[in-house]
Amino acid sequence: MSSKPLASLSSSAGRAKAKRDAKGRFADILGELYLLSCALKRFEDDGRPEADLPVVELAFQDALFVVYERLDEILTNLPSRSSAWLLRRLVFPWGRRWRRASDQLSGRVADLLVLSPAFREHLCEGMFFDDSPQDILGCLEHAVRVSALSAPAEQKLRVAIRDGRVAPYAKERIAAALDAGGISEIEAEPLRVAAVAVRRATDVDHFTSGELWQSGQIDVAKADAA
């Protein structure tokens, strides 16, 4: 077989991949701009509440960073280097100066989401939400609420661990803290409730390894029978 058709095929495949990658990068930019327009409209429709500013700022900084990254990738992979050089001077006249949102800003937004039930309700306004502890999403809200209520007792527990009265990795650290006098029985109860709620919210495996193995064996037996 001649090498010429193979070379032509390889060249066509390379060009097709380059076009596909470029389309994907443009799609990423369009998606980020669409999400930013939604965030800005929501902020404007809500009357520009000052409490929402950290969230809007975080959304814009992270989204614009992605836009800048994709534009840089597009320019880097342009086949015409002279065109790439010219466009880079037009698109980035002062260089690539955009950065992701700082950890400080991310921390402010995280504190808003975790510590302010009113802010979470405002952010999810108009959405159906079941705050029951048995609901798949409601258990997250329940875990956040009971964790906030148990925060003072959790702090005392940490002090007891730091002072050496409770082992750092004690299996029953609440009982150990009670025995050491680090917390009272009244303080222990919210800690127990919070531990159960957090486990319920973070537990993603509802089957034991034995149940999973048994299920796999049944599936294999069915496949063999078929």
Give the predicted TM-score (pTM) of the model: 0.62
Q: What is the pLDDT of residues 150-173, one digit of tens each?
A: 888 889 888 888 888 888 777 788
Q: What whole-number distance in Å separates Cα of residue 52 and Cα of residue 46?
A: 9
Q: What whole-number distance in Å separates Cα of residue 91 and Cα of residue 78?
A: 14
Q: What is the pLDDT of residues 172-193, one digit of tens each?
A: 888 888 888 888 889 889 899 9
Cβ burial, residue 203 (10 Å; 0-12/13-18/19+): exposed
What are the backbone dihedrals phi and psi of residue 125, each rounded to the nearest 5 degrees, phi first? -60, 135
Domain boundaries, the chain: 3-117, 138-209
Q: pLDDT band at residue 221, thresholds of 50, 70 and 90?
A: very low
